A = this chain, B = another copy of it.
Amino acid sequence: MSARVDIPADTSAAAKGTAPLIAAASTHVKGGYKKGLAIFDFVLRLGAVAAALAAAATMGTSGQTLPFFTQFFQFEASYDDLPTFQFFVIAMAIVSGYLVLSLPFSIVAIIRPHAAGPRLLLIILDTVALTLNTAAAAAAVAIVDLAQNGNSSANWLGICQQFDDFCQSATGAVVASFIAAGVLLFLIVISAVALRKR
Protein backbone atom coordinates (compact mmCIF):
# COMPACT_ATOMS: atom_id res chain seq x y z
CA MET A 1 0.00 0.00 0.00
CA SER A 2 1.31 3.49 -0.78
CA ALA A 3 0.10 7.10 -0.42
CA ARG A 4 0.99 10.17 -2.45
CA VAL A 5 2.51 12.98 -0.35
CA ASP A 6 3.44 16.44 -1.67
CA ILE A 7 6.61 17.82 -0.15
CA PRO A 8 8.49 20.97 -1.27
CA ALA A 9 11.74 19.70 -2.82
CA ASP A 10 14.30 21.93 -1.02
CA THR A 11 12.83 21.30 2.45
CA SER A 12 13.04 17.59 1.77
CA ALA A 13 16.72 17.87 0.81
CA ALA A 14 17.55 19.85 3.96
CA ALA A 15 15.73 17.42 6.21
CA LYS A 16 17.03 14.20 4.69
CA GLY A 17 20.53 15.05 3.45
CA THR A 18 22.40 17.77 5.28
CA ALA A 19 21.18 17.70 8.86
CA PRO A 20 22.19 14.11 9.74
CA LEU A 21 25.65 14.68 8.26
CA ILE A 22 26.26 17.72 10.48
CA ALA A 23 25.04 15.80 13.51
CA ALA A 24 27.39 12.90 12.74
CA ALA A 25 30.40 15.24 12.38
CA SER A 26 29.77 16.98 15.71
CA THR A 27 29.36 13.60 17.46
CA HIS A 28 32.72 12.51 16.11
CA VAL A 29 34.53 15.62 17.43
CA LYS A 30 32.85 15.24 20.84
CA GLY A 31 33.92 11.58 20.97
CA GLY A 32 37.59 12.39 20.41
CA TYR A 33 37.62 15.01 23.15
CA LYS A 34 35.94 12.69 25.62
CA LYS A 35 38.28 9.82 24.74
CA GLY A 36 41.28 12.07 25.42
CA LEU A 37 39.82 12.97 28.83
CA ALA A 38 39.27 9.25 29.58
CA ILE A 39 42.89 8.36 28.73
CA PHE A 40 44.13 11.26 30.90
CA ASP A 41 41.86 9.97 33.69
CA PHE A 42 43.46 6.51 33.46
CA VAL A 43 47.04 7.86 33.60
CA LEU A 44 46.24 10.15 36.56
CA ARG A 45 44.56 7.23 38.30
CA LEU A 46 47.79 5.21 38.06
CA GLY A 47 49.62 8.12 39.69
CA ALA A 48 47.03 8.29 42.48
CA VAL A 49 47.45 4.53 43.12
CA ALA A 50 51.21 5.01 43.49
CA ALA A 51 50.82 8.00 45.86
CA ALA A 52 48.17 6.31 48.03
CA LEU A 53 50.16 3.05 48.25
CA ALA A 54 53.31 4.99 49.14
CA ALA A 55 51.44 6.87 51.88
CA ALA A 56 49.99 3.68 53.41
CA ALA A 57 53.29 1.77 53.19
CA THR A 58 55.46 4.61 54.55
CA MET A 59 53.20 5.15 57.54
CA GLY A 60 52.65 1.40 58.05
CA THR A 61 56.37 0.66 58.27
CA SER A 62 57.27 3.76 60.30
CA GLY A 63 58.64 3.13 63.73
CA GLN A 64 61.76 3.84 65.69
CA THR A 65 63.48 2.27 68.67
CA LEU A 66 65.86 4.51 70.54
CA PRO A 67 69.42 3.16 71.01
CA PHE A 68 69.31 3.47 74.81
CA PHE A 69 67.09 1.61 77.24
CA THR A 70 66.62 0.99 80.95
CA GLN A 71 66.24 -2.35 82.65
CA PHE A 72 62.44 -2.19 82.50
CA PHE A 73 61.66 -0.10 79.50
CA GLN A 74 62.76 0.29 75.92
CA PHE A 75 61.91 3.54 74.20
CA GLU A 76 60.17 2.97 70.92
CA ALA A 77 57.57 4.75 68.80
CA SER A 78 55.39 3.20 66.12
CA TYR A 79 52.29 4.22 64.18
CA ASP A 80 50.42 1.72 66.41
CA ASP A 81 50.81 4.06 69.36
CA LEU A 82 48.66 6.79 67.85
CA PRO A 83 45.05 5.93 66.86
CA THR A 84 45.09 8.68 64.23
CA PHE A 85 48.05 7.07 62.44
CA GLN A 86 46.30 3.65 62.59
CA PHE A 87 43.26 5.26 60.95
CA PHE A 88 45.58 6.84 58.39
CA VAL A 89 47.08 3.45 57.39
CA ILE A 90 43.65 1.78 57.15
CA ALA A 91 42.07 4.67 55.23
CA MET A 92 44.93 4.98 52.74
CA ALA A 93 44.92 1.19 52.22
CA ILE A 94 41.17 1.36 51.44
CA VAL A 95 41.73 4.29 49.04
CA SER A 96 44.58 2.38 47.30
CA GLY A 97 42.39 -0.72 46.98
CA TYR A 98 39.49 1.31 45.57
CA LEU A 99 41.77 3.09 43.06
CA VAL A 100 43.12 -0.26 41.79
CA LEU A 101 39.57 -1.62 41.47
CA SER A 102 38.48 1.55 39.63
CA LEU A 103 41.07 1.06 36.85
CA PRO A 104 38.82 -1.34 34.83
CA PHE A 105 35.99 1.22 34.91
CA SER A 106 38.42 3.86 33.67
CA ILE A 107 39.33 1.52 30.77
CA VAL A 108 35.61 1.05 29.99
CA ALA A 109 35.32 4.87 29.85
CA ILE A 110 38.19 4.93 27.30
CA ILE A 111 36.55 2.26 25.11
CA ARG A 112 33.08 3.79 25.34
CA PRO A 113 33.57 7.54 25.85
CA HIS A 114 29.84 8.29 25.49
CA ALA A 115 28.53 5.87 28.15
CA ALA A 116 27.42 7.93 31.16
CA GLY A 117 27.12 4.92 33.51
CA PRO A 118 30.83 4.25 34.26
CA ARG A 119 31.50 8.01 34.51
CA LEU A 120 28.70 8.51 37.02
CA LEU A 121 29.90 5.53 39.09
CA LEU A 122 33.49 6.83 39.02
CA ILE A 123 32.61 10.40 40.01
CA ILE A 124 30.50 9.30 43.00
CA LEU A 125 33.01 6.71 44.29
CA ASP A 126 35.94 9.09 43.65
CA THR A 127 34.21 11.69 45.82
CA VAL A 128 33.80 9.16 48.64
CA ALA A 129 37.48 8.14 48.28
CA LEU A 130 38.54 11.80 48.29
CA THR A 131 36.61 12.36 51.53
CA LEU A 132 38.28 9.35 53.20
CA ASN A 133 41.71 10.38 51.90
CA THR A 134 41.32 14.00 53.06
CA ALA A 135 40.09 12.92 56.49
CA ALA A 136 43.13 10.65 56.96
CA ALA A 137 45.58 13.30 55.71
CA ALA A 138 44.14 16.17 57.78
CA ALA A 139 43.92 14.16 61.00
CA ALA A 140 47.51 12.94 60.53
CA VAL A 141 48.68 16.52 59.90
CA ALA A 142 47.11 17.63 63.19
CA ILE A 143 48.98 14.88 65.08
CA VAL A 144 52.27 15.38 63.21
CA ASP A 145 52.15 19.08 64.04
CA LEU A 146 51.56 18.20 67.69
CA ALA A 147 54.46 15.72 67.64
CA GLN A 148 56.73 18.37 66.10
CA ASN A 149 55.80 21.42 68.14
CA GLY A 150 53.74 20.18 71.05
CA ASN A 151 51.17 22.52 72.61
CA SER A 152 52.05 24.56 75.65
CA SER A 153 48.43 25.43 76.53
CA ALA A 154 47.43 21.79 76.82
CA ASN A 155 50.82 20.83 78.28
CA TRP A 156 51.57 18.38 75.46
CA LEU A 157 55.28 18.13 74.66
CA GLY A 158 56.65 17.38 71.18
CA ILE A 159 58.17 13.93 70.72
CA CYS A 160 60.09 14.58 67.48
CA GLN A 161 63.24 15.64 69.31
CA GLN A 162 63.58 12.01 70.41
CA PHE A 163 61.86 10.16 67.57
CA ASP A 164 63.11 12.13 64.59
CA ASP A 165 63.14 9.22 62.10
CA PHE A 166 59.59 8.29 63.05
CA CYS A 167 58.43 11.87 62.58
CA GLN A 168 60.11 12.10 59.19
CA SER A 169 58.41 8.92 57.99
CA ALA A 170 55.05 10.20 59.21
CA THR A 171 55.58 13.56 57.50
CA GLY A 172 56.52 11.84 54.23
CA ALA A 173 53.42 9.66 54.40
CA VAL A 174 51.22 12.73 54.97
CA VAL A 175 52.76 14.52 51.97
CA ALA A 176 52.11 11.44 49.77
CA SER A 177 48.49 11.30 50.93
CA PHE A 178 48.00 14.99 50.09
CA ILE A 179 49.34 14.29 46.59
CA ALA A 180 46.83 11.43 46.25
CA ALA A 181 44.04 13.76 47.44
CA GLY A 182 45.04 16.42 44.89
CA VAL A 183 45.01 13.87 42.04
CA LEU A 184 41.59 12.58 43.16
CA LEU A 185 40.22 16.14 43.18
CA PHE A 186 41.52 16.60 39.61
CA LEU A 187 39.96 13.25 38.56
CA ILE A 188 36.57 14.45 39.83
CA VAL A 189 36.85 17.67 37.81
CA ILE A 190 37.71 15.61 34.70
CA SER A 191 34.74 13.30 35.26
CA ALA A 192 32.40 16.27 35.75
CA VAL A 193 33.56 17.87 32.48
CA ALA A 194 33.19 14.52 30.65
CA LEU A 195 29.69 14.01 32.08
CA ARG A 196 28.53 17.35 30.70
CA LYS A 197 25.83 16.69 28.14
CA ARG A 198 27.20 19.05 25.49
Contacts and interface: CB of A to CB of B under 8 A. Distances in A.
Interface of A: 1-10, 12, 77, 81-84, 116, 120, 123-124, 127-128, 130-131, 134-143, 145-147, 151, 153-157, 159, 181, 185, 188-189, 191-193, 195-198
At the interface, is chain A mostly helix, strand, loop or mixed? helix
15 contacts: A1-B10, A4-B5, A5-B5, A5-B7, A5-B12, A81-B154, A83-B145, A120-B192, A127-B185, A127-B189, A131-B185, A139-B141, A147-B154, A155-B159, A192-B192
Contacts of A120: 192-193, 196
Contacts of A123: 188, 192
Contacts of A12: 3, 5
Nearest to A149: B83
Nearest to A188: B127
B8 A153 contact: no
Nearest to A155: B157
A143 B140 CA distance: 10
Contacts of A10: 1
Contacts of A195: 192, 195-197
Contacts of A145: 83-84
Nearest to A1: B9
A155 B155 CA distance: 10
